[in-house]
Structures are given as structure tokens and as C-alpha cells.
Amino acid sequence: MVALRDIPGGLEIELFKPITQAQLEQAKFDTQHWTYVPANGYGGRNFAQQALAITKRELSVDGKKIRLSLPGIRDNSPPFITHKNYSNENVGWVIQVKVDQLPLYKNTAWYTMIHHQGGGLQAAVAQTISAEKNPQAYAKAQFAAICAACHSLDGSRLPGPSFKGLHDKT
């Protein structure tokens, strides 16, 4: 892989050598993203690591570019995660793309998303799911886009309290 680029609705992978459509169809992709909250010093703990589902793969005519549609990409938009007086507000979201079954020298690339051309996950949810027509799907998508970064559904520890056991409570 030569480059990984932000495009509206997803990412573009540029390759050094062309591949065929058959090779693209055989390829296995693992895409995920996370953010981190910087610590006092270098680095910080990862938060909200999630898999990203690829809804479409397209190969350029010259075989050197793969366009991936990834509707779940987050960018550096609110709400932000705060942990021990630090925030991910100026950090963005790290996207990892791993490709297997292609003749690549290196099969993993990372991209730090600050301002996604697709408007981020919240914009994608608003454009694709109607709150009036399908309130449950809209709520699930909003949870994934906003709440899941800090709140779990299964009781696991994240910066905010878990939502486990809150159903039917006031």
C-alpha cells in the first residue's frame, strides 16, 4: 500500500502495483477504529475500539486504487471522551485497515481521521436512517455513533457508566 486517503463515505487505498477485480474479490479486509485520550507524557489509553463494516469495494480502472465504503467512520466531532482530566478533542479517530489475500509488501495501514469528508458517523446516521420512520434503528445507530465511545451495554468498563440493567428504569 502506497497511501490511505479519506474520501466521501469511506477510504481509498492506493497500491504500488495494480491488482485485478478477481484479486479484490478474494481479498479479506479487517477495518476498525478507535480513539485515545492522551496521558501526561507520551501516548494514552485506547477507547471505543470498534470494527467498521465495509459496504462496498470498488477497483479503479488502472487497478491501483481500492475505494472502500465505510459508513461508520467517526471523526473528531463531539461528543468527546474525557478521562482523568484529558480529552480526545484534538486527537481524532485512528482507522486501521488490514488486507489479506493480496500480494502486498505490508498489509496494514493506519489513518488518523480529524475531519471526515463524509461528515463523520453522526452525519451518516442522519442521512440514512429516519427517526420518524424507524426510531429503534435510529436509536441504535445514534448509540453506536455517540454513546458507545464511553458507555457499554454489557457492563464492561469505559469512561462512562454502563447502560446494562437500565432498561425500564427512570
Query: pLDDT tens for residues 152-162?
Result: 888 887 777 88
**For all residues of the chain together, what is the average pLDDT?**
83
* 9: pLDDT strictly greater than 90: no
Q: What is the pLDDT of residue 76?
A: 79
* 43: pLDDT strictly greater than 60: yes
Q: pLDDT band at 128, cuts 50/70/90?
A: low
Q: What is the pLDDT of residue 101?
A: 94
Distance set, CA 58 to CA 22, 93, 132, 149 (Å): 12, 24, 33, 30
Q: Between 144 and 132, where is the model more confident?
A: 132
* 167: pLDDT strictly greater than 60: yes
- Domains along the sequence of the chain with CATH: 3-118 (2.60.40)
Q: pLDDT band at 29, cuts 50/70/90?
A: very high
Q: Show the 3-state SS of 9-31.
A: CEEEEECCCCCCHHHHHHCEEEE
Q: What is the pLDDT of residue 121?
A: 52
Cell of 48: 471505543
* 127: pLDDT strictly greater than 60: no
Query: pLDDT tens for residues 77-111?
Result: 777 777 778 778 888 888 999 999 998 889 999 99
